[in-house]
């Protein structure tokens, strides 16, 4: 069965919105179908398996990678699908023992972060574990009391938790 695989890795959360969708219909999507995975490859958790002509709802990955695999057999062909990939800042992330990278914005390294942005990430660790943030690069507008652009860290789920610090400048 021929297949085509795509992997999107963004620097923030990845989302996919379908504009058109027409793949061979089957109750179990056993023939032509599209599979979406919540990660960089087909070993990641499956977000869904789709076929038919009903557009899937928008899909948001739990992190920065979304893997797509399209299967097509040799019998029935339809138009296929057209989707738009986008990135969103913020979200809920699961802390793991393995180091993961998190970026301020989707075009980090190529362009400055956008104005008027507010991105909230909640990083959750399993019971008995903590979260460690290590900044490899940090460059945010400098101001005496970090009153304009800043990164703030809290020891909890939102800004009502104890504040660990407010950071700006570079270093």
What pLDDT is stored for residue 86 in this prediction?
A: 75
What pLDDT is stored for residue 5 in this prediction?
A: 38
pLDDT in tens, 104-132: 766 666 667 777 777 887 888 888 888 88
pLDDT in tens, 5-18: 343 333 355 788 99
What pLDDT is stored for residue 110 in this prediction?
A: 66
The CATH number that domain 3-88 falls under is 2.60.120.290
pLDDT in tens, 125-155: 888 888 888 888 888 889 999 999 998 999 9
Identify the sign of the CA torsion 75, 76, 79, 84. negative
Q: For residue 101, what pLDDT band results from cuts at 50, 70 and 90?
A: confident
Residue boundaries of the structural domains of the chain: 3-88, 91-171
Give one DSSP letter per residue of 74-93, joined into a string.
SS----EEEEEEEEES-EEE
> Residue 2 above 70 pLDDT?
no
Contact of 119 with 90, CB cutoff 8 Å: yes
Mean pLDDT, to the nearest integer, of 79-87? 85
pLDDT in tens, 21-39: 999 999 999 999 999 999 8
């Amino acid at each position: 069965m021929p297949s085509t695989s795509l992997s999107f890795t963004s620097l923030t959360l990845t989302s996919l919105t379908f504009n058109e969708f027409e793949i061979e219909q089957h109750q179990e999507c056993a023939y032509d179908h599209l599979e979406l995975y919540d990660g960089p490859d087909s070993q990641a958790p499956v977000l869904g398996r789709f076929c038919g002509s009903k557009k899937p709802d928008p899909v948001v990955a739990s992190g920065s990678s979304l893997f797509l695999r399209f299967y097509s057999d040799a019998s029935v062909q339809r138009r296929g699908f057209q989707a738009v990939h986008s990135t969103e800042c913020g979200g809920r992330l699961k802390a793991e023992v393995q180091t993961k990278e998190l970026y301020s914005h989707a075009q980090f390294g190529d362009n400055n972060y956008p104005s008027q942005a507010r991105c909230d990430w909640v990083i959750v660790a399993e019971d008995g574990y903590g979260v460690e943030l290590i900044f490899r690069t940090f460059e945010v507008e400098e101001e005496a009391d970090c009153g304009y652009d800043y990164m703030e860290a809290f020891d909890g789920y939102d800004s009502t938790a104890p504040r660990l610090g407010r950071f700006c400048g570079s270093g």
